[in-house]
Amino acid sequence: LNYINSWAREQLLLQKAKLNIDTKKEIDKMVSDYKKELLIDKYKEALLKQNLDTAITAEDIDYYYEQNKKIYKLNEELLKLKYIYFTKDISDKKELIKLFKSDNYEDKNRLEQEKLKFISSNLNDSIWISYKDVLKKLPFLSEEKKLKKIKFLQKEDSIGVYLVAVKDMLYRNDIAPKSYVEPVIKQMILHKRKLQLIKEIEKTLLEDATKNKEFETFQKN
């Protein structure tokens, strides 16, 4: 019913507009211009699909980052950390603490194998995580007056035990790490390539048209 009412209103307004507005030429021109733009955009899109190099190497990312890193300033804090959260009644608590504190590769692997025992965890301390996302899992970290490296922290709540180690941190206005802005860099590289390719396509079309005297025909028209 709503759809029918909406359609009826649209038809009534259209009839009134046709009777009272004398702008047919203007509207026809707008429609024609829009159609031209649409066709040109579709053609460019097809050419980009055929010719755009979408492969982005690590070297491309490194170069772009080094050239533009000053513009990538953080507007939030980032952390590298690991943590595990398990129930208070877990049987091998002492062993888990020992494994968590260890930097030994085998101990890290053993801890990884125990993951199913944990309520939640993050054992990859090589990736940067937004501080606000960390607080969703570890709300007690907001009690810290200033973000700092933490070799080992043990906390308890009504449900279980947290073991936390903060490996590194970055503050607001620090330069964002490359790994954190890599998706944005990839988008920017592709965008620049698109603009450059469109320029080259337009230049080639113009040169070919001039060469074949097609451009003179357009000028006469």
Q: What is the pTM of this model?
A: 0.69
How far apart, in whole angstroms, are the C-alpha atoms of residue 157 and residue 88?
9
168-203 pLDDT, tens digit per residue, is: 999 999 999 999 999 999 999 999 999 999 999 888
Of the segments 45-49, 90-94, 214-218, which one has the largest average pLDDT value?
90-94
101-149 pLDDT, tens digit per residue, is: 999 999 999 999 999 999 999 999 999 999 999 999 999 998 876 788 9
Neighbours of 144 (CB within 10 A): 11
Per-position DSSP letters for the chain, written without gaps between them = -HHHHHHHHHHHHHHHHHHH---HHHHHHHHHHHHHHHHHHHHHHHHHHHH------HHHHHHHHHHHGGG-B-SS-EEEEEEEEEETT-TTHHHHHHHHH---HHHHHHHHHTGGG-SEEE--TTS-EEHHHHHHH-GGGGGSSS---EEEEEEE-SSEEEEEEEEEEE-TTSBPPHHHHHHHHHHHHHHHHHHHHHHHHHHHHHHHHHHTTHHHHHHH-
28-53 pLDDT, tens digit per residue, is: 888 888 898 898 889 888 988 898 99
pLDDT at 217 over 60: no
What are 18's two structure tokens? Answer: 């046709």
Q: What average pLDDT does this structure show over 154-176?
A: 95
Q: What average pLDDT does this structure show over 154-167?
A: 96
For residue 72, what pLDDT is reported? 94
pLDDT band at 206, cuts 50/70/90? confident
pLDDT at 26 over 80: no
For residue 179, what pLDDT is reported? 94
For residue 17, what pLDDT is reported? 78
Q: Does domain 74-170 have CATH number 3.10.50?
A: yes
- Percent of the chain exceeding pLDDT 90 equals 63
Domain residue limits, the chain: 1-51, 57-71+186-221, 74-170
pLDDT band at 216, cuts 50/70/90? low
